[in-house]
Amino acid sequence: MNQREGHSLPPRDRILPNPSGLNAEFYRIAAETGTLNVQRCNDCGVYRHPPRFSCAHCGSGAWSWSPTSMRGVVWSWTITHRAIDPAFAEQLPYAVVVVELEEGVRVVGNLAGLAILELRIGLEVNVSLDLRSDNIALIDFIPR
């Protein structure tokens, strides 16, 4: 079954990232907590993603990881017709989406459970974390 028809979550044998630094913390915290966390500035309260050492809004270096609502809306997407990861070959074409979380940050992940022909800007989705190890949880999005 491909994305034209809709399918369940992406394949279990997909390529895993090898993150370092703050990105490694991002994936590890998701795996440990089962919740997607993003950075939040301790001084101005602005959420940010991807992770970085200083706040782009106020310049502060004081921040902490903050749990998200795990809800958002589709902001953009791309349809993949050629699988770079062999694990996705049976699911072509498939969608990779950019979702704006309720916290205002945008996160990239795979779309699951919806045919690509039904995809639209503003579609409400939930984050589904795909736990792969003690240090890696991948991000998928499922329609609400």
109 in any annotated domain: yes
16 in any annotated domain: no
57 in any annotated domain: yes
pLDDT at position 130: 94
State yes or no: pLDDT of 142 exceeds 50.
yes
Q: How many domains does the chain have?
A: 1
67 in any annotated domain: yes
pLDDT at position 1: 45
2 in any annotated domain: no
Round the average pLDDT of the chain to a whole number and report it. 93
Residues pairing with 64 in the sheet? 40
14 in any annotated domain: no
Q: pTM of the full predicted structure?
A: 0.90
Tokens of 111: 């779309």
DSSP character string of the chain = --TTT--SSPPTTPPPP---HHHHHHHHHHHHHSS-EEEEETTT--EESS--SS-TTT----EEEEE--SEEEEEEEEEESS-SSGGGGGG-SEEEEEEEETTS-EEEEEE-SS-GGG--TT-EEEEEEEE-SSS-EEEEEEE-
pLDDT tens digits along 27-77: 999 999 999 999 999 999 999 999 999 999 999 999 999 999 999 999 999
Provide the residue range defining the domain that includes 133: 21-143
Query: Which range, of 5-9, 19-23, 77-81, averages the lowest pLDDT?
Result: 5-9
3 in any annotated domain: no
12 in any annotated domain: no
